[in-house]
A = this chain, B = another copy of it.
Amino acid sequence: MSRQNPAHRENGSEDAVGRPPKFSRAQVQQAALEIVDRDGLAELTMRTVANALGTGAMTLYGHVRDRADLETLVVDAVLAGTDLPPADGDWQTHVEEICVATWEAVRRHPHAVPLVLNRRGHSPAALIVGEALAAALQRGGLDGKAQVIAFRTLLAVTVGGVEADPGPSAVPAKMGADGATRFDLAFQELLASDPTTYPALRAMLGPANALAPVDIFRETVRQAIAGIERASP
């Protein structure tokens, strides 16, 4: 997992004569994720990560290309936590479980959500999840165009599901650029500040708050799968 840049060596493999590196890229990854989970996104810094590893900021550049690479490392750690289900049973259930497992993995790290949205395309772990999803759709008999559409629908539903409701994030000590309150809360606040308009939105508030997030998400995935089946019966 997470071998991002071939130019950076993995682990303690000292080639030639020099000293072995003080720590591995995996340790950088773990330290970064811990900081994000514990202190929030705004605290993720070259300096804070280096400090957690007991070195100076510049030492990180032996393991990480730049700040974007560090962020990718965090995203990769989050997505690597996806508990992919075995490929048995009907393909519909299999697809559903893959999406829910991915959603749950991201939800375990609410502070990392903005990073996941922006950098999942660079994460090798995202490839593994994507491959599982694509294979499940193949197993369902979809091919070519139908498979591409279905793949994009399910990816969009999963990513969009995380984005809309990234989970209860403890208010970070220092507010990140992404804001302390997440979408749903902010949305409801906005709605509350203008109580005369938006009747259709307001009518949904009651039913929405009566449902558990995971149930809402699972149902959106089921509806997506139903739509896929109907398109390719």
Report chain B residues within 8 Å CB of A222.
227, 231
Does A179 make an interface contact (CB < 8 A)?
A: yes
Report chain B residues within 8 Å CB of A181.
121
Closest approach, in angstroms, between the C-beta of A62 and any C-beta of chain B?
Answer: 21
Report chain B residues within 8 Å CB of A225.
227
Does A108 make an interface contact (CB < 8 A)?
A: no
Known contacts A114-B117, A156-B164; decide if A223 and B177 are in contact (CB<8 Å): no
Size range of the interface on A? 35 or more
Report chain B residues within 8 Å CB of A183.
120-121
Interface residues of A in 127-159 (CB under 8 A from B): 127, 130-131, 134-135, 137-138, 144-145, 147-153, 155-159
What is the bound-complex CA distance between A83 and B134, given in angstroms?
A: 34
Binds B, one of A14-22, A32-40, A185-193: A185-193
The answer on a CB contact under 8 Å between B159 and A164 is yes
The 9 closest A-B pairs by CB, nearest first: A156-B160, A227-B227, A160-B160, A223-B227, A134-B200, A121-B183, A121-B186, A226-B227, A135-B200
Question: Hey, which bits of chain A sit against chain B, CB under 8 A?
Answer: 67-68, 71, 114, 117-122, 124, 126-127, 130-131, 134-135, 137-138, 144-145, 147-153, 155-161, 163-164, 177-179, 181-187, 190-191, 194, 197-201, 203-204, 207-208, 210-211, 216-217, 219-220, 222-228, 230-231
